[in-house]
Amino acid sequence: MDSKNTLTIVRRLSSVFYRPPMIFTETKLKGAFVIELERFEDERGFFALSWSEKEFSERGLESRLVECNISFNRKRGTLRGMHYQQSPHGQVKVVRCTMGAIYDVIVDLRPDSPTFKQWVGVRLTASNRLMLYIPEGLAHGFQTLEDDSEVLYQMSSPYVAGSGRGVRWNDTAFRIEWPEETKRIIIARDSEYADFH
């Protein structure tokens, strides 16, 4: 068999067995995705692509990330949120849990959206390695499910203190169903946001 035929067969087999390196599943909130990493495993463990400008841009998603932050949380039941940045400093966020486990929540604050004021919750853990892509116009927060949980944020624009805003985690406008917790740890600022209208 000549090399041209061999190359054709290899290409056909590659297309049959090709698996995308990242699996994007859109949530009920338009433009918000749960991202699963495709693992290539062997006896050593696995290898996975955790970021690809190409994979994001091919889906029309923001692929320019300019800032990364880490949130370390000592105690289970720590609740941070619900935060966002006001336009023109809105941020796209890609969030993953690198240690421990969290219940990650996003709320649609886009007035023209068909899912305005609706929310989605996703369990992100160090072991499931899921990521959540959060478009501009959504508030974000999480509650830790284990002690010593760490969260990695990648953002499309820098933090601008004067543009930081939030909505209350237990506002009845959203009716978010948080995991039960006997001792929830939350700072005063996150508990005192005004009612959302």
Which residues are part of the catalytic machinery?
83, 153
Distance CA 6, CA 127 (A): 40
CA distance 5 to 19: 23
DSSP 161: G
CB 118 within 8 A of CB 28: yes
For the chain, report the end-to-end CA distance as a whole number of angstroms. 71
Torsions phi, psi of 132, nearest 5?
A: -120, 125
What is the rounded CA–CA span in Å between residue 138 and residue 126?
24
Q: What is the DSSP code (8-state) at residue 186?
A: -
For the record, the structure tokens of 79 come out as 């609740």
Report how far residue 42's alpha carbon sits from residue 12's, in angstroms, rounded to the nearest whole number. Answer: 24
Q: Which of 59, 134, 127 is nearest to 94 (CA)?
A: 134
Q: Compute the distance between CA of residue 197 and CA of residue 189 in angstroms, rounded to an integer.
A: 19
